[in-house]
Structure 1
Amino acid sequence: MLAFLSSVIAFNISRFNADQQRSRDFLAAKAFLPAAFSELSEYFKSSASVLTSEWGRQGDGEINVEVPSPDGDYKLIFEKCIRHATPEVGKYLVGILVQMQIHNARLRELFRAGDGIIHIHIGRSNLIAYLYRLGELQALINKNFDFARGIDSFDSKPLEWEDLRNAYGNLNIRSQDIVVDEKMNLEEFTRRALARNSAAKQG
């Protein structure tokens, strides 16, 4: 019995020490997360500028545009944070990375060059979806910027319209201008998407 109790105590001490070390490692990694968030925000703003310019352009044809690309440092910072974070925080950061990959792929495909000249053709409905997803990425970063800075707790609440409205403002996206009709516009698209996400999580 004493041997069993000793082994249990030793196991608990070992687990406590491992948890403490993981916490210290996460704090060290998280120190660089605000810089990564800031870099991504600049990339998102550049992406938004390109997409909103395309919204304002009429017709097909050749365009002259410099397609933005993110700084590669954010991947290493995210990887270190995910490795040492709690499962909830790790899942959140992984979600941002996955959506980043989708956004990057869409942007490259949208502005793919052939023979050195960029030709694009995309419907406005797709552009609304792209802008929503970009706003969602910015909102996810905004939501836990203070957590990354170490001045607030982690916020796991689902995104709401106000989160997206603020994100669009950060990205200089005027949602009131992104309108096809009363049903197909950025605000209504965003509200419908948020409602679907909320229903999915509750289900």
Structure 2
Amino acid sequence: MLVVKAFESKAVISITFTLFILYFVSMFIAPWFTTAFSWEKYQKVLYTWQSLNVGVLAFTASVIALSISRYNEEKKREREFTAAKAFLPQAISELCLYLNSCVPTYTAKMEVFRIRSENFNSSEPPIPKAPELPRNYASVFKESIKHASPEVGDYLVRILRDLQVHHSRSLEQTAGSKDYLLACIHEIGVLRARLDSLFKFARNEKEFSSIKPIDYEQVITAYNSLNLDLNSKFSTELINYTRFKFNAG
């Protein structure tokens, strides 16, 4: 494994190639000149360094075998990722629906906070119970992460991590502070934006390299996808909070 990792380094490859060129010139070209083009003397030079030549040949054969093995493993990984990736669109759709169903819980909490801060005599609306996470997405993401490239795997892991944080927060029955609720809904928007960005890659419509870091416009689009009323007073505060988060970097 360490040898495989070493040969993934461009510096190691460059050094190995340079040493091989020096070896080839010193062993097979330079002796012709030092022996005055005498075939007998040239053979003696090769015989003297026979052990080294055998070692170099063995090393070269090992490198070739290692390269073939790496190529086959990479092709196998690509095939297995393609198979796992086929189930990603459905898993993403389920998570998007789940996030949409979480919004009423937070809008109710915001309404409770508003009533408490403006009029303590008004009755508070009940806070809907947070929905359960879908059941099938975890195995799909697990298989995709297992066979994905490091970049894709990291992106999927981040979605899973943020999803678990969101779900644990959604189970809280207390309304919380306004800033806390704004932060929670903002994170739902960011998570929805990440899922939306992943859709076209999952459906083989775009390369993963085309996925850009989440920005302000993507989150605002995600708010619309979450069916948030962006004309309400609460949504104005949410938009201002989102703008502040991205401007703060």
TM-score (norm 1): 0.84
Does the alignment pair 1:123 with 2:177? yes
Residue of structure 1 equivalent to 2:232: 177
In structure 1, how many angstroms separate the alpha carbons of the residues matched to 2:81 and 2:193?
A: 23
Residue of structure 2 equivalent to 1:67: 130
Residue of structure 2 equivalent to 1:7: 62
On the 8 A contact 1:128/1:178 being kept in 2, the answer is no
Shift of 1:63: 2.1
Does the alignment pair 1:150 with 2:213? no
Shift of 1:161: 1.3
Alignment of 1:1-203 (within 5 A): 1-57=56-112, 58-59=115-116, 63=126, 65-109=128-172, 111=173, 120-154=174-208, 155-179=210-234, 185-197=237-249
Instruction: Give the letter aligned to residue 89 of structure 2.
Output: P
Q: Which structure has the bigger radius of gyration?
A: 2
Task: Output one character per residue of 1:4-56: Cα deviation in whole Å (capped at 9) or x when no partner.
Answer: 21111100000000000001110000000000100000100000122123323
In structure 2, how many angstroms separate the alpha carbons of the residues matched to 1:19 and 1:90?
A: 15
In structure 2, how many angstroms separate the alpha carbons of the residues matched to 1:107 and 1:39?
A: 17
Instruction: Give the letter aligned to residue 244 of structure 2.
Output: R
In structure 2, how many angstroms separate the alpha carbons of the residues matched to 1:17 and 1:196?
A: 46
TM-score (norm 2): 0.69
In structure 2, how many angstroms separate the alpha carbons of the residues matched to 1:11 and 1:152?
A: 32
Q: Give the number of the structure with larger relative contact order, counting CA–CA contacts within 8 Å between residues 6 or more apart.
A: 1
In structure 2, how many angstroms separate the alpha carbons of the residues matched to 1:73 and 1:147?
A: 20
In structure 2, how many angstroms separate the alpha carbons of the residues matched to 1:121 and 1:74?
A: 29
- SS at 1:66's partner residue? coil
Task: Output one character per residue of 1:113-159: Cα deviation in whole Å (capped at 9) or x when no partner.
Answer: xxxxxxx3322221111110000110000012010011111144211
Greater helix proportion: 2
In structure 1, how many angstroms separate the alpha carbons of the residues matched to 2:229 and 2:165?
A: 23
Instruction: Give the letter aligned to residue 174 of structure 1.
Output: D
Shift of 1:178: 5.0
Instruction: Name the Cα RMSD after superposition.
Output: 1.9
Instruction: Give the letter aligned to residue 20 of structure 1.
Output: K
Instruction: Give the letter aligned to residue 246 of structure 2.
Output: L
Residues paired across the two proteins, number: 185
Instruction: Give the letter aligned to residue 31 of structure 1.
Output: A
Change (3 A) 1:49 1:17: same
Shift of 1:64: 5.3
